[in-house]
Chain A
Amino acid sequence: MYILMILLTMFVLPIASILAEAFLFKSNAGIMFLIGKWFVFWAVGIRLFLAGFRQATDPQFTAEKILGIKGSEPFILVQELGFANLSMGVLGISTIFNGAWTMAAALAGCIFIGLAGIRHIFSKERNRLENSAMVSNLMVSAVLLVYLILR
């Protein structure tokens, strides 16, 4: 389920949206504009909003089921991280209604997602879930960086 959500929100849906707008709806917008628009909406907006909502409302799930950490001590950290993800997710989703916010969301998302990806590189015992998070984080961050440079 976790890998499916990563695949959908960070690769399949952004690319499908870009192709749909470019070829199905014959958009006149440039390719970099479409890349920024849809990667920010799906990978920064929807992905982080869903993760943040889960972490904020059900910290036990993230702490125990995903990372195997028992007890309620880490809950404050999980919830605060959830609020962080929620705020970035809300901004990412809002860019679909106000395109002028795309650059700010792309900058914040590129730094946050990129650093999270780099952290996974140095993790000594990466499991399959962590590997998929690492690859997807680094790729999305690279896409956002290219958008920020070439837009």
Chain B
Amino acid sequence: MFIGICYLVSLMVGVAAVFLQPGPHMLQAVAGTLLRFVLLLGTGIPLVVGGFGHVFQSDMAARRLGWPTGSPFQKELGFWDLAGGVGAMAAFWLGGDFRLAAILINSIFWILAGILHLQHVFRFRNYNADNSIPAVIDILVPVTLLVLYWLAH
């Protein structure tokens, strides 16, 4: 749920930021502004928050996701979330190749993770909201990032 809210908020804040900028609003500049906010609020924040959850409240996070508790892999996954999240947040300020690299690393992970969550929805009937919503958002966020990057360049 949180991940979906972050995605919507990132788009709304991005649109607000576009209208706060002096016009005219060219497509390339609009996409660039939206991209920065989707990276910061729609990608970085949920990854860092999720990472802290996996590391410091592992069992609670696992139960919400319908995952087994007490797995040593969960903390390591939390570390990746923190690393990817910090990279995505840094890409809000650092442009150019750093931003593209942050988009690529997060897109590959999110799309593959989304496919895995979808597989668990359909194959294992894991309908937990924290599994099924990320299944959609995990695909939607990287597609948004890639489309916005393409439009911005």
Interface residues of A (CB under 8 A from B): 56, 62-63, 67, 69, 73-74, 76-81, 83-88, 90-91, 94, 98, 100-101, 103-105, 107-109, 111-112, 115-116, 119
Contacts and interface: CB of A to CB of B under 8 A. Distances in A.
B73 interface: yes
> Secondary structure at chain B's binding surface: helix, strand, loop or mixed?
helix
A112 B108 contact: no
Interface string B65-88: 001100111111101111110110
A80 B77 contact: yes
A108 B73 contact: no
A94 B102 CA distance: 13
Interface residues of B, number: 35
A83 B138 CA distance: 13
Contact of B80 (A69, A105, A112): A112
B49 interface: no
Contacts of B105: 87-88, 90-91, 104-105, 108
B94 to A, nearest CB: 8
Nearest to A112: B83
Q: Which 7 A-B pairs have the closest CB atoms?
A: A100-B97, A104-B101, A87-B108, A83-B112, A84-B80, A112-B83, A87-B109
B96 interface: yes
Listed residue (A84, A85, A107, A109) with the most chain B CB atoms within 10 angstroms of its CB = A84
Given A83-B109, A119-B79, 13 more contacts: A67-B72, A81-B77, A88-B83, A90-B104, A94-B101, A104-B98, A107-B86, A107-B87, A108-B83, A108-B105, A111-B83, A115-B82, A119-B76
A84 B80 CA distance: 7
A73 B68 contact: yes
Interface centre among B55, B87, B106 (most CB of A within 10 A): B87
Contact of A90 (B96, B97, B108): B108
B113 A83 contact: yes
Contacts of A119: 75-76, 79
22 contacts: A56-B112, A74-B68, A76-B67, A77-B68, A80-B77, A81-B73, A81-B80, A83-B109, A83-B113, A84-B77, A84-B81, A86-B112, A90-B108, A91-B108, A100-B98, A101-B101, A104-B101, A105-B105, A108-B87, A108-B105, A111-B82, A119-B75
B112 A77 contact: no
A91 B101 CA distance: 7
Given A69-B71, A112-B80, A76 B120 contact: yes
A116 B73 CA distance: 10
B87 to A, nearest CB: 5
Contacts of B102: 104
B102 to A, nearest CB: 6
